[in-house]
Structure 1
Amino acid sequence: MRNRLATAAALSTALFGAGALLGAPAADAGDAVAAVPAAHAVPAAPAAGARPAADTTHFDVTLGNTYTRGTLTWSNRSFHLVGEHKSVSATSCRGTTAFAVKADNHDAASASSKNNVCGKSDAFDFWLTVDVAGIDVVRVCLDNGATTPPLTYLKCVRYSRP
C-alpha cells in the first residue's frame, strides 16, 4: 500500500505540481517511483483568450483596372501586409494604406506602403503596429499614392480576423 501511495504522490506531483495529492506520504529515497510517459503528460492549457500565433487573410481592393492585393498576417499587436499594387496611368498613382480598427469602430493606428506606383505594378511589404490588443478588424485601402498629405482613399475594404 505504501508503494502505491508513494507512486501516486510522485505521479500527482509530476502532473499537477507539489502538494496536489493531499494526505499521501512523501516518497522515501528507497521507494520505486514510476516515470510518467510523455504520452500521458497533461499539456499546458492555453492562456484565456489566446489566439493562434499568426492567422492570415487574403485581401483584394480593386477599383477599375487598379488594385491592391496580397496577404494580411494577424499578430497580437501588429499586422504584416505583403502584396502588389497597380496603377495603369503614369499620372494617376496608387498606394496601399491599412488601418487597425478598434471595437468601437475608431481607428487605432494606420500605416502606408512606402513605394507608390505610377503606370505600373510593384510589390509592397509593410507593418502596421498597434498600441492596443484585441484588434479584430483591419481596413485596407487603395489610395492615390500621394507623396505629401493628404492621401485620398479611393476604395477601402474591411477584413475581420479569421
Structure 2
Amino acid sequence: MKTHLAAVGSVVGSAVLTAGALLGAPAASAQTTAYPTTPFDVTYGASYVRGTLTWYNRSVGVEGTLRAVGCRRAWFGAYSASHSQLDVKSTSTKCDVTYPIKTLLNADVPGGAAYVIVCLDDANANPLKCERYYRP
C-alpha cells in the first residue's frame, strides 16, 4: 500500500509541477490585427486628392493630400451597405497649394462603412470628379 501511495504522490506531484510551470510561463503576446486600407486617387486636370482610407470597425480614417491648381476642395462621404449616408467631411476651399488631409469619418453602424465616396470639388463645392471606394 505504501508503494501505491508513493506512486500516486509522485504522479500528483508531477502534475502539480507541470501545471505550476505552465502557469508561471509568460503569456503569449497578443497580436494586433492591422486594419484594412485602400489607396484613393481622384485627379482632375492638374489637381488631385490622394491618400489612404483606413477601415476601422465604426469609422474610416482619411489621410492624404489635396493638390489644388486654381481653387479646389476635397470631399469625403461614408455610406452604409444600405446606401445611407453616415458622415461627410470636406476641406475648406484651397487655392494653388498642396494641403495635407487627416480626418475621421464616423460610421457608427454594425460592420462600419461599406464604401466611401471621394470627390474633388470646385471652389463652390460643386463636384468635378468623384470615385467610390469599397471596404476591402
SS of residue matched to 1:84: strand
Q: Are residues 1:157 and 2:103 paired?
A: no
- TM-score, L = length of structure 2: 0.71
- TM-score, L = length of structure 1: 0.61
Q: Find the counterpart in structure 2 of residue 62 from structure 1.
A: 43
1:145 CA drift (Å): 4.3
Q: CA contact under 8 A between 2:75 and 2:91: conserved in structure 1?
A: yes
Q: Find the counterpart in structure 2 of residue 121 from structure 1.
A: 98
1:4-43 to structure 2, matched below 5 A, reads 31-32=12-13, 33=15, 34-35=18-19
In structure 1, the gaps of 5 or more residues are 1-27, 44-51
Q: CA contact under 8 A between 2:86 and 2:106: conserved in structure 1?
A: no
1:95-110 to structure 2, matched below 5 A, reads 95-110=73-88
Q: CA contact under 8 A between 1:53 and 1:75: conserved in structure 2?
A: no
Q: Find the counterpart in structure 1 of residue 4 from structure 2.
A: none
* Partner residue of 2:61 out of 47, 59, 80: 80
Question: Quick one: percent identity of the two aligned structures?
Answer: 38
More strand by share: 2
> How far apart, CA to CA, are the structure 2 residues paired with 1:83 and 1:64?
18
More helix by share: 2
SS of residue matched to 2:69: coil
Q: CA contact under 8 A between 2:79 and 2:107: conserved in structure 1?
A: no
Runs of 4+ in structure 1 off by over 4 angstroms are none
> How far apart, CA to CA, are the structure 2 residues paired with 1:54 and 1:113?
25
Q: How many residues align?
A: 114
SS of residue matched to 2:81: coil
> How far apart, CA to CA, are the structure 2 residues paired with 1:140 and 1:71?
11
> How far apart, CA to CA, are the structure 2 residues paired with 1:113 and 1:37?
55
> How far apart, CA to CA, are the structure 2 residues paired with 1:75 and 1:56?
9
Q: Find the counterpart in structure 1 of residue 107 from structure 2.
A: 130
